């Protein structure tokens, strides 16, 4: 049926108010499992130091004569390790006119909203940096032109590893001074995981968390050591994911992490599976510089906020943890 020509419709009306929802929808991930897992401690210098202690090698010939004089055993000294504090920031800037406007979907002004977003972005950056393949970098002359960088997880793990080469791949030293060398990728299998868990156990570690990217988390869900998938017909639900792994050396929770190697191309994202003893990893912040907001000076008709953090990774003893490296991601 045709519409009468004199009917006034919305197509002719120019004064209708806009229909703009008062909600803003965001799906970008903000979970930071590694940052959340780590203990938080304090750094009092840009060079943050700590010590590790090892026991003497087991002596299976330890037998002495009855009545013999005691012989002093050699002392095993501590090892002094360090990492550099890195500064990371995000800056929000909003014009005076926008500050005076009435934005939809925001409780408050635009600058406060942007400040919140930059804080979330900064936390994600820190997560990705700590899980990246980055060695520590000291300052140059007076620190001019050279930003300090903290050694990431991958530059510490050298004792309990599975890589796709017999002798190449691990960092040259387990002290944050060198990075891993990537090898040809291969599929993630349960024997690889079991091998690393056995190495950690032999070194005295008690890991409790396994972290994997999305692809290898799905591969993990097919391992035999997982619980069997279940089907609840009444709830019309099938459970096939794995959140815990019963190993020969204890139960470990399995966590998916989106930020493993995200600094590389998408095809390389998540190419490691990491096994952690949680209390052996910490993030040390400089006093008063843990995710702070700084009001920057006005240089014109705008307002600025700098979200800043100064931190370093404290690898308390890398022998407590391990890595399955060089894994396929697709």
pTM of the model as a whole? 0.87
Q: Residue 266 belongs to a domain with what CATH number? A: 3.90.1690
**Tens digits of residue pLDDT in 128-171:** 999 999 999 987 656 677 899 999 999 999 999 999 987 889 99
**Side-chain-facing half-sphere of 176: CA atoms under 13 Å:** 27
- Domains in the chain: how many in total? 1
- How far, in whole angstroms, is CA 304 from its chain's centroid? 28
Closest by CA to 159, choosing from 317, 328, 1, 327, is: 317
Two tokens at 300? 């014109």
Indicate whether 188 belongs to any domain: yes
Please answer whether residues 223 and 246 qualify as being in contact, where contact means their C-beta atoms are separated by less than 8 angstroms: no
What value does the CA radius of gyration of the chain take, rounded to a whole number of Å?
A: 27
Indicate whether 20 belongs to any domain: no
The DSSP call for residue 121 is: H
Indicate whether 22 belongs to any domain: no
Residues 209-224, mean pLDDT to the nearest whole number: 90
Q: What is the pLDDT of residue 263?
A: 47
Q: For residue 33, is pLDDT > 60?
A: yes
Q: For residue 227, is pLDDT > 60?
A: no
Tell me the residue range of the domain where 129 lies: 33-53+77-324
> How many angstroms separate the CA atoms of 207 and 213, rounded?
18
Residue 18 CA: distances (Å) to CA of 15, 21, 22, 107, 189: 9, 10, 12, 20, 56
Q: C-alpha dihedral over 125, 130, 131, 132, to 10 degrees? A: 80
């Amino acid at each position: 049926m045709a519409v009468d020509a004199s009917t006034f419709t919305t197509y002719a009306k120019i004064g209708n108010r806009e229909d703009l929802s008062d909600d803003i929808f965001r799906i970008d991930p903000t979970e930071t499992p590694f940052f959340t897992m780590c203990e938080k401690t304090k750094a009092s210098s840009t060079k943050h130091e700590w010590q590790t202690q090892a026991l003497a090698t087991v002596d299976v010939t330890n037998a002495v004569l009855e009545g013999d004089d005691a012989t002093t055993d050699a002392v095993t000294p501590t090892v002094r390790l360090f990492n550099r504090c890195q500064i990371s920031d995000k800056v929000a800037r909003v014009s005076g006119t926008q500050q005076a406007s009435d934005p939809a979907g925001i409780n408050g002004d635009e600058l406060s909203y942007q400040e919140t977003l930059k804080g979330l972005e900064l936390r994600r950056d820190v997560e990705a940096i700590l899980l990246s393949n980055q060695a520590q970098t000291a300052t140059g002359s007076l620190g001019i032109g050279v930003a300090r960088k903290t050694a990431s997880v991958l530059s510490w793990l050298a004792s309990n590893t599975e890589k796709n080469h017999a002798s190449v791949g691990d960092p040259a030293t387990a002290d944050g001074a060198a990075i891993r060398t990537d090898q040809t990728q291969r599929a993630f299998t349960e024997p690889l995981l079991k091998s690393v868990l056995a190495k950690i156990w032999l070194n005295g570690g008690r890991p409790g968390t396994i972290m994997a990217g999305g692809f290898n988390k799905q591969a993990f869900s097919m391992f035999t050591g997982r619980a069997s998938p279940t089907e609840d017909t009444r709830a019309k639900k099938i459970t096939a994911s794995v959140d815990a792994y019963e190993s020969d050396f204890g139960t470990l929770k399995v966590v998916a992490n989106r930020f493993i190697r995200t600094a590389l191309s998408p095809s390389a994202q998540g190419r490691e599976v990491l096994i952690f003893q949680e209390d052996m990893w910490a993030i040390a912040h400089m006093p008063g510089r843990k995710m702070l907001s700084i009001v920057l000076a006005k240089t014109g008709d705008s307002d600025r906020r700098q979200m800043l953090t100064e931190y370093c990774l404290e690898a308390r003893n890398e022998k407590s943890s391990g890595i399955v490296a060089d894994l396929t991601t697709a």
